[in-house]
Amino acid sequence: MHENVLPFPRRLTPRRQAVGPNAVVGMLIFVVTELMLFAGFMSAFTITRAAYSTWPPIGQPRLPVGATMFNTVALLASGALLVFANRAFTRKPETVRTLLGASLGLGLFFVAFQGYEWAQLLSEGLTLTSSNHGAFFYLIVGTHALHAVAAILALARAYLLLVRGSLTKHTFLATSIFWFFVVGVWPMVYLRVYL
């Protein structure tokens, strides 16, 4: 063999490396787009609300601020438990199931309680077509509820995978990012829409 022949095969260009796990990068991009969706809703709500001298408009039911504050605390606690679950995934795996289960439970409580509040408001006359107040309330809070339900389904899937022992760190992190987004957006929705 000739002495100057290079060993074969030889890569001429360096191998490209991903910025991060595909699931995490994809979920972050999705979260950014949904963040813009909520930003548009909040901006439109702010402009519409500023055109009224009194808000909520006269004759419209008042929103349950106190009960929703309790629900907000439950949602924030769910987010905190999921943070602990993520940390425990590599350090203390035996505690992840309990933490994830508790976070999922609190998330389910939040959605159920929101549904109960909606039923109360509908019976009091606040509907999607009753006023701008009702329209924006159900639009913004309803969109958040849709995201919450989807995130709960993702968390439930992660829990099932964890029980089977096939949950990977990246899948768990991507699912958690979605729930953190739902938890993080809600206080802004509460402060702007309810207060």
Partner 1 sequence: MLALVALCLPSVVRACPMCFTGNNEDAFLYGSLFLMIVPVSAIGGLLYWAYRRIKASEAASALPEEPPPAVTGRPAALRAVEPR
Which stretches of the chain bind partner 1, using CB under 8 A? 1, 3-7, 17, 19-20, 25, 28-29, 32, 35-36, 39-40, 42-44, 46-53
Burial track 103-137 (b if 16+ CB lie within 10 A, e otherwise): bbebbbebbebbeebbeebeeeebeeebbbbbbbb
- Whole-number minimum distance, CB 50 to partner 1, in Å? 3
- Whole-number minimum distance, CB 1 to partner 1, in Å? 7
- Whole-number minimum distance, CB 47 to partner 1, in Å? 5
Judged by CB, which is closer to partner 1: 43, or 98?
A: 43
CB atoms within 10 A of CB 17: 6
Report residue 40: phi and psi, to 5°: -65, -45
- Whole-number minimum distance, CB 32 to partner 1, in Å? 5
The answer to whether 156 and 104 are in contact (CB under 8 A) is yes
The two tokens of residue 94 are 């035996």
Inter-helix orientation angle 169-189/22-50, to 10° = 10
Judged by CB, which is closer to partner 1: 51, or 165?
A: 51
Judged by CB, which is closer to partner 1: 56, or 64?
A: 56
Taken in order 181, 192, 115, 84, the sign of the CA dihedral is positive
- Whole-number minimum distance, CB 38 to partner 1, in Å? 9
Judged by CB, which is closer to partner 1: 14, or 59?
A: 14
Judged by CB, which is closer to partner 1: 36, or 65?
A: 36
